[in-house]
A = this chain, B = another copy of it.
Amino acid sequence: MKLGMIGLGKMGYNLALNIIDNGHSIVGTDVDAELVNKISRVGGEGVHTIEELVKQLPTPRVIWVMVPPGEVTRQVIKKLSDLLLDGDIVIDGGNSHYQDSIQRNALLTEKGIFFFDVGTSGGMVGARNGACTMIGGDAEVFKTIEPLFKDISVENGYLYTGPVGSGHFLKMIHNGIEYGMMQSIAEGFDILKKSQFDYDYESVAKVWNNGSVIRSWLVELTQAAFSKDANLEEIRGVMHSSGEGKWTVETALDLQVASPVIALALMMRYRSLEDDTFTGKVVAALRNEFGGHEIVKK
């Protein structure tokens, strides 16, 4: 199969290599000219505009979009809706909100263009060597691109999930679970650190990865992290987030699902972004008001 890849960043580039390795051809583009050159050097066909990319592809075209979610993805898909023709296929493999995907599908469907919303998990390593993909879209048309997903995913690592929206929804929930799992692991190590015992964290993660109930890729990554910096002394505990945890909690609220663990995992990330909090100031001031408890001056 010859397909287009729009976006050659960390994820797109690795996916492109993975696709090429599996015997397919890639026409790739990116706003960063250097990345276009890079893909050309490794067997892809680098082009500098989406228009050019569209021209290089046989019909029906298959174009994988791997750009930042939100406005950038919206613009790229809007542009594709103008350039593509009836029967062409657009795949959004990024972390778009599932409701955006449903809306974009409506736009593309008007023109007879097929849209698939694909959640891609496994990090950069997965993108390169075998990803986990969750694919929403038309069930019949999916059959024509199923071989591609079979090739780029690990064994049993792709799933057709239902109509458009279901792919990104499932990836969103996956990430919500990931937030909760990561926070669980991290809280556990935090208690270890403050305990009376003197554990070697890398060894702990290693033993847990061999036979324990919590063995998992995340604990493997924990082991890897501690192998590089035994006490994480070089890292500040600032926990950024990229949207999907928040969307999961918002969705839980919309569906009236009590999801305290995922919600708290997210909120502790927000808490980590602040050195001091107004919440804390108010409570400290109140304790001083009623009990004369000393307050810590700035």
Contact = CB atoms under 8 A, between A and B. Distances in A.
Interface of A: 10, 121-126, 130-134, 153-159, 161-163, 165-166, 169-170, 173-199, 203-204, 206-219, 221-222, 224-226, 229, 232-240, 242, 246, 248-253, 255-273, 275-293, 295-298
Nearest to A188: B177
Contact of A283 (B124, B182, B262): B182
B181 A180 contact: yes
Contacts of A224: 289
Contacts of A225: 282, 285-286, 288-289
B266 A264 contact: no
> Which 4 pairs, one residue from A and one from B, show the smallest C-beta to C-beta distance?
A237-B280, A180-B184, A216-B216, A132-B211
Contacts of A186: 278-283, 286
A263 to B, nearest CB: 5
Contact of A176 (B121, B191, B221): B191
B187 A262 contact: yes
Contacts of A286: 182, 185-186, 218, 221-222, 225
Contact of A181 (B184, B253, B257): B184
21 contacts: A121-B214, A122-B211, A122-B213, A123-B213, A157-B207, A161-B197, A162-B198, A174-B208, A178-B213, A184-B184, A186-B278, A190-B277, A215-B217, A237-B284, A238-B280, A239-B287, A240-B284, A250-B250, A260-B263, A268-B279, A272-B277
Contact of A263 (B192, B267, B298): B267
Contact of A214 (B177, B189, B237, B250): B177
A222 B282 contact: yes
B191 A259 contact: yes
A245 to B, nearest CB: 9
A257 B208 CA distance: 22
A181 B214 contact: yes
B296 A212 contact: no
A177 B192 CA distance: 12
A239 B206 CA distance: 29
A279 B159 CA distance: 23
A297 B166 contact: no
A162 to B, nearest CB: 5
Most chain B beta-carbon neighbours within 10 Å: one of A166, A225, A266, A283:
A283
A265 B180 CA distance: 10
A296 B236 contact: yes
Contacts of A211: 121-122, 126, 130-132, 153-154, 157
A214 B212 contact: no
B295 A236 contact: yes
